[in-house]
Structure formats: structure tokens, C-alpha cells
Structure 1
């Protein structure tokens, strides 16, 4: 018979159930009466979907009950949400590439749904500030992984397939989504009234590590805009710690931009045919 946890039980007992379930590989795991995925294994899209369903039910009946980033009892659940280990199956080169790419895309969608639970912009102060920002940072990393897989998949296509309008449209949509996510990530740094200072300081340091991997994949028209946004944060953000993190990020992004521009203008080797320029604009 599966173990169940009612909302009337105390938090220590709730976590006792988590600990017991973790020691039993085949045991069903419940959090406040709702079944959740095994936090001892890596999560895929289906696991996030199950978690979202459970947390949505909990959130409608209990205030302030979602797993916390550094919660004494709920921390392990949140840490599994944003664990780097979850990327291992996506980066497993022995698994089919297209399957891994689709899996990464599905996880990114589920992360967006999960962020809807943690973000509440009707509130004067974010009730889950640290957790919401942590999910945004993790989403940036997931988007970068998706781009890595998309690039690998693109290189397996023939020139004819790469010129296919449907393929090009899909690539453009991926780049547009990444640009929007990057812009939103920087927007949150300006929400000093809704997020605590400590949360924003940590967030600035974290996205400073994640943005370079994603920045290189952005469209040529978007990269200068992101550079300008970072420069503005370096000069104008009210928190010195955030300005310092952005100041460390700025030369890294500038270097990436310079390298990309250099590659674009690099002349072809003598006697080597010039490859046709790939048009990544949306089909008319």
C-alpha cells in the first residue's frame, strides 16, 4: 500500500516520509499528500510534469508550501528541480540525438510552467524570490543545452535540409525564444522592490556564469542589445554587488562578440571554394 501524507501532519513527519521513501528505490514518494517523482534519480519532462501537477494542487490549498531552495526539509526536492545531473541524459552521446533534442525542448517548456507557480507579480514582494530566480538561472542553462543539441542536429543535415524553410523557421523560433529568455533574465535584475537584495546578488552572480554559453547562439542583431543592457547594469544598478557581477560578465560577452564578428569576416583560404552564406531569415 503506498504511503500517504495528509496536510494535517507536521512538517518533520512529512520529511520523515521523504527520507523513508528515498531509502526504498521502488517506493512511491508523496509530498503533502501529492505524489511526486523520485528525487534520487535524474528528472525528464514527465517528472517535471508530475511535479507541476502535484504542486498546483498543493498551492491551491496551502499558502507558502512550495519547496524552498534552502529549506531544511524541502530543500532536496527543490535541488532536484535545478540539478545539473538532470542534463546528463540529454548530453549522452550514445542516445539518439533527435530524441535528446526533443527531450530538452520538452523540459524547457515544463520549466516555464514551473516558474509560473513560483513567480507572483501581483505581490509587492515575491514570496518565493530565491526559488523563482534559481529556476530562471536553471532555464538559461537548459536553453543553452538545447542550443548545443540543436547545433549538433543541424550539422547532421544535408545542405538541402538546412535550406528547408520549415527547418529554418524552427531554428529562428529557437533563437527568438532564447533572446526573449535572455532579455527577461536581465529584466529581473531591475526588480529591486519585488526581490530581496541577497536574492538578486546571488542571481546576478549565477546568470553571469550562464549567459556566455547562451550568448554565442543569439542572433547577430540581438547580441549588441544584450551587451548594451549589461553595460547599463554595470553603470546604473543600485546594488554594488550586482554591478560587480555584470562588470565581470561584460568583457566575457564582449570577447565572444569580437570572436564571432572575426569569424564572419574571415576571408576564405586561397583555392578553396567559398561556401554559400546561410540565410537564417524567416521564409517570406
Structure 2
């Protein structure tokens, strides 16, 4: 059964949250709830009017409920919204990055490889072509991942609540999005010196005739002394200094880490709980 929350119900939900608001605060309530004993619970957040800092939380419901039921709902509610915000940051944002410059680089390398230009180490161009094409293919995976996450979010909004399985799915989306980013960077970093060679060869007549870049500094910016440091920082951030990692190791390790951090986040948020109080 689909239960779409109308404007009147959303207003009624907001009024429930306002009951626990202080005069210097704004309140927002996520309209995606979680069911405990067939009762729907929602998470309210109270922010300082003069900053974006969250001051407190409340777990509210349209229905009469016990303290224990509300507290049972709090962990999945906080877990879902922490993870959804991470998905917005790590997947939606990344899926919208413009990769047209990399497409230009790929096409440039492809023209040189197809022409089998003499007098250069063509294997460097072939390897770089494979790496850049892989980065572009992975970007298509990122876009597909965002489409799946966005579709799930729309379905949840339609039915007004999510379940434990959907929380798990959202966690996996988040982890896979981070893995895709790491996979995009790792080979590019390992072979970033290739673009020093490619840059140095750029003015060889048989190479230069294949050049067609929107930005004349494209190859300059791909050199190791410019790109390597940022690539390394991104890899260290995404693997927390544990690179290299294969897919299974990455997913298994960071799944455990992520769940531990959700518990830590819940314990912090619980101390900010304004309603219900034991």
C-alpha cells in the first residue's frame, strides 16, 4: 500500500516537531519515516537560527507510542539520514562532474595510437589511453549508481518510510561510490609520469597534428608535478591511507568501519535528544 504524505500531513508533522522547539531555533523534519510495531516515527532536527549547527533532535509520531518504541526508531532514522547525506556528497556531486576534458584527452591519445606515430614510445600512449578510458567508464558507473540511489529515494518518499534493507542498500551505494572514485584515481596516479612523456612529445610534428584541445593547457595540467599530489591526497582520503586495496577488501573493510561510525554518530546524537526523554 502506497501512503503519500500530503501537505496537510506534512504541516501536522511540522507542528509535532515545533512542540519541542526553543524560540531561537528553526525546526526541520524529514518526511521519510521508520516503522516500529506498525507505527511511523520521524526525525526532527533543531538548528540555531544564526548558524547551521544542529542543537537537538526529537523522534516524533502521529500515533500514541512508548519511549522504547521511539528509541528503537532513532538509530535507523539517524543512520538513514547520515548515509543519504553522504550519498549526496560522494555520488550525486561526483556524478555531475564534467569529464569533457578527459574525453578530449582520450580522443587525442586514440588518434595517436591509431596512427601508430613513429619516433615515440607508443606503449606509453596505449597505457594512458586504457587508463583514461577506464576513468570514463567508471564515471558512467557513477552516473548509474546515482540514478539507482535517486530512484530508491523517490520510492521511499512515495511510501513515506524506509526499512532496514533500504538502509543497507544505501550504505552499499555510498561505499561503492567511494570505491569508484578510488578506482578512477589509482592507475592514473601509478602511471602519472606517462603524461610527462606525452607532454614532452607534444610538439613533435607527427604528434602535434593530432592535438585538438579546448584548453591549450590540458596536457600541461596532466603532468605529474601538477596532478600527482592531488591524486595522492584523494587516494589517501578514500582509503584512509590503506591503499592499495582490491574491490572486495575495500568493501568489506569500509563496511565494518562505516557501521562502527554510524553507532558512534548515534551515540553522539542520542545525547542531543530532546524528545522523548526517559
TM range (shorter): under 0.3
After TM superposition, the score normalised by the length of structure 2 is: 0.28
Structure with the bigger RCO (C-alpha within 8 Å, sep 6+) is 2
After TM superposition, the score normalised by the length of structure 1 is: 0.27
- Write 1 or 2 for the structure with the bigger share of strand: 2
